[in-house]
Amino acid sequence: MRGRAREHSSQSNPHESAVTHSDIELDVDFDSHVLSGYVEHTVTVKSDGAGELALDTSDVTVSSITVNGKAAEYNLGTAHKALGSRLVVKLPSGLKAGDTATVGIDFAASPEASAVQWLPPEQTAGKVHPYLFTQCQAIHARSILPCQDTPGAKFSYTAAVRVPEQLRALMSAVAVEGGAEDGADLQRVAERSGAATRVFRFKQAVPISSYLLALAVGNLVQRELGPISAVWSEPEMVEAGAYEFAETSKFLDAAAELAGPYQWGRYDLLLLPPSFPYGGMENPCLTFVTPTLLAGDRSLANVVAHEIAHSWTGNLVTNATWEHFWLNEGFTVFLERKILGRLYGEQRYQFQAAGGWLKLQHTVTKQFGSEDHPYTRLVPDLQGGVDPDDAFSSIPYEKGFALIHYLQQLVGGSAAFEPFFKAYIEHFSGTPLTSEDFRSFFEDYFKSNEAIKQIDWDTWLYKTGMPPVKCEYDESLGKAAYDLAKRWHTADVMGIGSSGPSGASAADIEGWSSTQVVAFLDKLAELRAMQPLHPSITRRMNELYDLDSRHNSEIRSAWFQLCINAGDDAVLPGVEAFLQEQGRMKFLRPLYRALNNSKSGTAKKAAVETFERNKRSYHPIAAKMVAVDLKLAKPTDE
């Protein structure tokens, strides 16, 4: 059933010679901003006569390569602007399928490596020690070390990381007991003179894809959250993280009931500095999360449920290539909402799903601006060296979820679908798959169910625009929020004036959760998509609901976008402050796009000036994508 997937985002050859294990040594030099190291890849030959190992690199300097301990012939190809350079290592002749070889590489990453952000002390919470973190998804692991940088190739690894003695290293692996060694040395990487160091050791026994390789180094401490969980952060933020993420063990237990046993040993969280470009990153054993989740009321902890869900959907069951990314994210959104439904009731699942549909509509009509845009396909075409970052959006998340929810309803609801879901996880665990693999498994499992004959797979998977079927959700949990949005919409359309709807008062949203407030703002944005609100209306809303001063990042983002679209320049100082405080792309990109597309000349000017002022504090991936949004740079597929 599982044929070889077309891989357009990697120049490696795991179908011929696969890296199945890597032993890594890294030296972290905060003075030069260089990660230097040695990696020994264990290579398993997949076909008789395979004569070479092909690896992905991007601005990585290679100083020597050995095969089975002897100097090897190798060639580093011309650099592609998105995909980097292909490194080809000659293997011994006469190898047969199943044979193994060891390939050792001495390397150094560039100070400008796209996966790495080096933070000076002033950009950390403590303001004393420097900090480093990596972000390898989608194709940035190749900027750290030569590897087969495709989700379709999986490997286990060990690592030894040397850092300044006052700092701690963490990785997407389990720390080896007693693995912190003051003054220890690495076997293959020369020690730098005059630098007091310590070495941390790690082991990841479950094979992972390269995008899940992760490293963080900083002044880090931990607080326990549960039997297998802790939160790590700088001392100044760790207590807030321990409070915010206190429900982690409950999420883990609910996920295991739905998807099967947890296989990774530890589930820790690392609360990162504000420049981290994502809400969370599902690095095995150590989820990275943004401090924008620190709302003080645990209202944004659903992001942790999402990253926990990735422990099964993504980390165990993985898209074979980035074109099939929806298999990671659509299923993870589904499992996230299932977890929330188990813990807080089915209406929570339905409420989150309804909000996701609004997000999907906005992505198609506003972000991409057309039902015909090729990146609105669930399975986009990434041929020709397209950078997967350029195709990134909520499409794989919400269009993918919509398909899965539709299939669930079609086969008889949760009672029929949840056993299938668990069987799907068990069947594909450890083996990357494509959309057609999923379809075949689904159709075989439900072959006696006549309803599945009506599924228009071609449209769902390969056609642009909104899904062919609109799912209906129970919106009772969001009814008050949606009704209030309709009242404000109607008042503005009818020209009632700046006073807003009749009887509007602060009591309208008294006692609401932040999720309800965001639902109100998102619904109002949907209703006013074609004709934005008048700024007098947004000012009146602020008078009643005090929205300008909210600290919840989801509320701030939704409110600021609504006001920018209305031409309400009163929020610009708050917008600029928000864009300076954090680097999460979920907030950066929509807000910068809204500023740049505003009918206000002041807002347009603020877009470029704010970005130029702050771009060096953003992660390289985030800075690259915002520059594209502002048309200050071209996408890497052009």
What CATH superfamily classification does 11-210 receive? tricorn interacting facor f3 domain (2.60.40.1730)
Whether the CB-CB separation of 500 and 544 falls below 8 Å is answered with yes
Poorest-pLDDT segment among 184-193, 206-215, 413-422: 184-193
Q: Is 244 annotated as a binding residue?
A: no
> Residue 130 is encoded by which pair of tokens?
């420097």
pLDDT at 498 over 80: no
pLDDT given at position 2: 47
Q: Give 1's pLDDT tier (boundaries 50, 70, 90).
A: very low
Residue 585 labeled ligand binder: yes
Give the number of C-alpha atoms closer than 13 A to the C-alpha of residue 331, restricted to the C-beta side. Answer: 28
pLDDT at 192: 80
Would you give the DSSP letter of residue 437? H
**pLDDT tens readout for residues 319-335:** 999 999 999 999 999 99
pLDDT digits (tens, 9 = 90+) for 227-268: 999 999 999 999 999 999 999 999 999 999 999 999 999 999
Q: 398: annotated binding-site residue? A: no
Closest CA to 55 of 80, 38, 77, 30: 77
Distance, in Å, from the CA atom of 575 to the CA atom of 605, rounded to the nearest integer, reads: 13
Asked whether the bond before 18 is cis by omega within 30 degrees of 0, the reply is no
At residue 607, what are phi and psi to the nearest 5 degrees?
-60, -55
Chain position carrying tokens 């990585």: 60
Q: What pLDDT was estimated at residue 50?
A: 96
Asked whether residue 541 is marked as a ligand-binding residue, the answer is no
Residue 586 labelled as part of a binding site: yes
pLDDT at 3 over 70: no
For range 352-365, the mean pLDDT: 95
Which fold is adopted by the domain 322-462?
Neutral Protease; domain 2 (1.10.390)
Q: What is the mean pLDDT of residues 165-190?
A: 90
pLDDT of residue 223: 98
Residue 13 in tokens:
């050859």
Give the tokens for residue 241: 């993280």
To the question of whether residue 384 is assigned a binding role by annotation, the answer is no
For the range 453-456, what are the long-range contacts, defined as Cβ-Cβ under 8 Å and sequence gap of 24 or more? 454/410, 455/407, 455/410
Is 396 annotated in some ligand binding site?
no
**Cα 3 to Cα 434: distance, rounded to the nearest angstrom:** 9
- pLDDT for residue 471: 92
478-629 belongs to which CATH class? Answer: mainly alpha
Q: What is the maximum alpha-carbon separation in the chain?
A: 84
Q: Which position has the token pair 């071609």?
A: 458
Q: What is the per-residue pLDDT across 74-110, written as a single tens digit (0 to 9) for each?
A: 999 999 999 999 999 999 999 999 999 999 999 999 9
Question: Which whole number is the average pLDDT over 443-459?
Answer: 98
Please tell me whether 80 is known to bind a ligand. no
The pLDDT of residue 5 is 82
Question: pLDDT-derived band of residue 4, with 50, 70 and 90 as boundaries?
Answer: low
- What value does the mean pLDDT take over residues 387-397? 96
Cα-Cα-Cα-Cα dihedral sign, residues 326, 330, 333, 336: negative
Q: Quick one: which of 574, 502, 481, 490 has its CA closest to 528? A: 490
In angstroms, rounded to a whole number, what is the distance separating the alpha carbons of residues 136 and 221? 23
| Catalytic hit among 131, 349, 397, 545 | 397
pTM recorded for the entire structure:
0.94
307 is a catalytic site residue: yes
Asked if residue 637 has pLDDT above 70, the reply is no
Q: Is 298 annotated as a binding residue?
A: no
User: Model confidence over 535-556: pLDDT tens digits?
Assistant: 999 999 999 999 999 999 999 9
Helical (H) or strand (E) element with 249: helix 248-259
Give 210's pLDDT tier (boundaries 50, 70, 90).
very high
Q: Band of the pLDDT at 497, cuts 50, 70, 90?
A: low
Annotated binding residue 336: no
Domain with CATH 2.60.40.1730 in the chain: 11-210
The whole-number pLDDT of residue 496 equals 58
Q: Give the pair of three-digit tokens for residue 233.
A: 């952060």
Q: Is 137 annotated as a binding residue?
A: yes
Question: Looking at this protein, which amino acid is placed at residue 509?
Answer: I
Q: Who wins on pLDDT, 5 or 566?
A: 566
135 is in an annotated binding site: yes
Domain limits, CATH 3.30.2010.30, in the chain: 220-311
Whether 60 shows a pLDDT value over 60: the answer reads: yes
Catalytic residue among 25, 234, 307, 336: 307
Q: What is the mean pLDDT of residues 410-436?
A: 98
Residue 596, burial from CB neighbour count under 10 angstroms (0-12, 13-18, 19+): buried
* Strand 268-271 to 286-289 pairing: parallel
Q: Does 131 carry a binding-site annotation?
A: no
* Percentage of the chain exceeding pLDDT 90: 92
495 in a labelled binding site: no
329 assigned to a ligand binding site: yes
Mean pLDDT of the chain: 95
Residue intervals of the chain classified under CATH 1.10.390.10 are 322-462
d(Cα 576, Cα 353) in Å, to the nearest integer? 31
pLDDT in tens, 601-618: 999 999 999 999 999 999
Eight-class DSSP state of 498: T
Q: What is the mean pLDDT of residues 465-483?
A: 95
For residues 310 and 303, give the distance between their C-alpha atoms in angstroms, rounded to a whole number: 11
Top CATH class, 220-311: alpha beta
Gap between the Cα atoms of 251 and 247, Å rounded: 6
